[in-house]
A = this chain, B = another copy of it.
Amino acid sequence: MASTFGNNIKISIFGQSHSEAIGVTMDGLPAGITLDFEALSTFLQRRAPGHSDLTTPRKETDEPKFLSGLLNGVTCGAPLTAIIENTDTRAQDYSNMEKMPRPGHADFTAHAKYKGFEDVRGGGHFSGRLTAPLCIAGGICKQILEKEGIFIHAEIAEIGGQTKDFQKVLEEAKAKGDSLGGIVSCHVEGLPVGLGAPIFDGVENKISQAIFAIPAVKGIEFGDGFQSAKLCGSQNNDAFYYDETGKVQTKTNHCGGVLGGITVGTPLFFRVAMKPTPSIAQKQETILYEKAESAQLEIKGRHDPCVVLRAVPCVEAATAIALYDLYLDAKKEG
C-alpha cells in the first residue's frame, strides 16, 4: 500500500522512470467536472524539466494521455486514469547503479527491500519523475478546489540557505558539480473553517503524509513550526476576533491556520524542507555489491543541481490532494 492515498478520493500512482509509462488513477472524483486541460498543462509544465540549464536537460513533454474517467473532457464518475508515456530514456547512463548504490538515493534501500528485483533504471518507482502523475492528480484536485474558492500557492523560500538570488547560488553549486537543497513555503487561501479532524486525520497529519511523497522532503512545519518551540504561550497564541463581516479571524497566524487538526478558516501556511539533490557530479564513496567492498562512484546521468525549483508545483499538488480528501470528508459531515 505504498503508492495509494486518500479516504474519499483514492489516488493510485504507478510507473517507473523507464517503464512503458507512468500514471495515476483517481477513484472517487464526482461526475460533471469540466477539466481545464490548458491550465493542467501549464501546471505540469512548471514541474517539467528542460526550462533552464538548472534543471535536467531530459526532454519530457509530460503531456498526460487520459485513458478513462472522462467523456468529452468532463468527469463521468468512473475512475480517471492518465498516463505519460516514457520516451526519452537512456538506460545506459544508469548501468553502474546496479552495482553501486548512489549515496542519498533510494538505490540501496530499494535493493534491500525488493531483494535485487527492483527496477534500478533512473531510480525506478522512486524517481522524481513519479511526481508527474502526482502533479496530474494534484492539478485536478487544485482545479476543483479553486472552483470552491480555495487557492493553493507555493513558492521557494530558500535555496542553499539563501533567501534571494537563487540563480547565483545555483550556478555556483553547478560549477562545482554539487547540488543544493532548499525550503518551499505554501499558503492556502479560502479554506472554510472545519476541515480536518482530531488525532490521526488532522490537516497536519494528512498534508504531511502527502508532502513526504515528494522525494527529498526531510521536514515540514506548520505556522511558526520549529520557531514556535522557542516562544512563550503568550507570544504564540493567536487572539480571536470578529472581522467586519462577522467572520472569526485571528490577529496573528502563528498556528498556520490549523488548531486541533482542523482549519481555522484563516490562511493555511506551512514550510517544507528539501535536502540537496543526491545526484552530484563529484566522486562519492559507496559500496560495490558484487565484491562487498568499498568503491567510488561517479554519476554521469542528467540531474538537477536543485530539485527545489521543480518541487514547487509538487508541493501544491500534494497539498491539493490532501485538502481535497479532507474537503470530501467535511462534505459528508455537512
Contacts and interface: CB of A to CB of B under 8 A. Distances in A.
Interface string A122-135: 00111000100010
Interface in A100-118: 101, 103-106, 108-110, 112-118
Given A115-B31, A117-B32, A205-B213, A104 B221 contact: no
A130 B233 contact: no
Given A68-B21, A125-B79, A262-B106, A285 B241 contact: yes
Interface string A15-46: 11001111101011011100000000000000
- How many identical subunits does the complex contain? 4
B16 A2 contact: no
A48 interface: no
B229 A226 contact: no
A63 interface: no
Nearest to A235: B276
Interface string A51-65: 000000000000001
A97 interface: no
B229 A225 contact: no
Q: How big is the A interface, by class?
A: 35 or more
Nearest to A24: B25
Contact of A280 (B23, B125, B234): B234
Given A4-B4, A224-B275, A235-B276, 10 more contacts: A16-B69, A106-B259, A160-B232, A176-B232, A178-B234, A204-B218, A205-B213, A218-B256, A219-B225, A233-B276
